[in-house]
Amino acid sequence: MDRFIVISGCSGGGKSTLLAELGRRGLAIVEEPGRRIVRQELESGGSALPWGDADAFLRRAIAMSLEDRAFASAQAGWVFFDRGLIDAAAGLQHLTGEPVMSALATSHRYHRRAFLTPPWPEIYVNDRERRHSMESAIDDYFRMLKVYPSLGYEVVVLPKVTVEERADFVLRALE
């Protein structure tokens, strides 16, 4: 959908902070599926974790992303996604070699511009839900930097500026 905006890129690059700012401004946002799954799995003692059963984790992320899109269809105006279907499908395809990405990603489009947060080591932190290394996050970023254009998206790399300036930048780019 042309009003569904994906914010992808490097873990720890400020995606969630940007989404929070957009939400503060009254815009509809969808939290990253991966973080929600990790929280659920840690609370329930489950194993569908990126550092445990990555296959199960990514399959849940795909299912959750599809549910998020259905929910977002009822929202008016722009809807901003913290990662989403393309990231999950690309991750599963990278992990298993299963050709899931193009089938899912072409039938469930986002706005033609995909915004990516670049690696930003100065703000990167590990926490209960993010345990991978900065190097792994950078590898994922470069994979997304190739994946989105391969699916016909125009990638816009976000500047390393304050969260308010980033939100203004995104909104101007959508005008």
What pLDDT score was predicted for residue 125? Answer: 60
What's the pLDDT score for residue 100? 86
- Round the average pLDDT of the chain to a whole number and report it: 88
How far is 105 from 125, CA to CA, in rounded Å?
A: 30
Number of H helices, E strands in the chain: 7, 5
Sign of the torsion angle spanned by Cα atoms 110, 99, 62, 69: positive
Provide the pLDDT for residue 25: 97
* Per-residue pLDDT reduced to its tens digit, 87-104: 999 999 999 999 887 777
pLDDT of residue 156: 97
Domain ranges of the chain: 4-173
Cβ atoms 5, 75 nearer than 8 A:
no
Q: Encoding tokens for residue 166?
A: 């980033």
Q: What is the sign of the dihedral through the CA atoms of 17, 36, 146 and 73?
A: negative
Q: What percent of the chain has pLDDT over 70?
A: 90
Predicted confidence (pLDDT) at residue 12 exceeds the cutoff of 70: yes
pLDDT digits (tens, 9 = 90+) for 46-90: 988 888 898 999 999 999 999 999 999 998 899 999 998 999 999
- Structure-block tokens of residue 123: 């703000």
Q: What is the pLDDT of residue 77?
A: 93
Flag whether the pTM goes above 0.75: yes
Options 3.10.580.10, 2.40.50.100, 3.90.1300.10, 3.40.50.300; CATH of 4-173 = 3.40.50.300
**pLDDT at site 70:** 92
**Mean pLDDT for the stretch of residues 12-41:** 91
pLDDT tens-digit series, residues 129-153: 655 566 776 888 899 999 999 999 9
Query: Which own/partner contact pairs does 47-53 have at CB distance under 8 Å and 24+ positions apart?
Result: 50/131, 50/132, 51/131, 51/132
pLDDT given for residue 131 in this prediction: 54
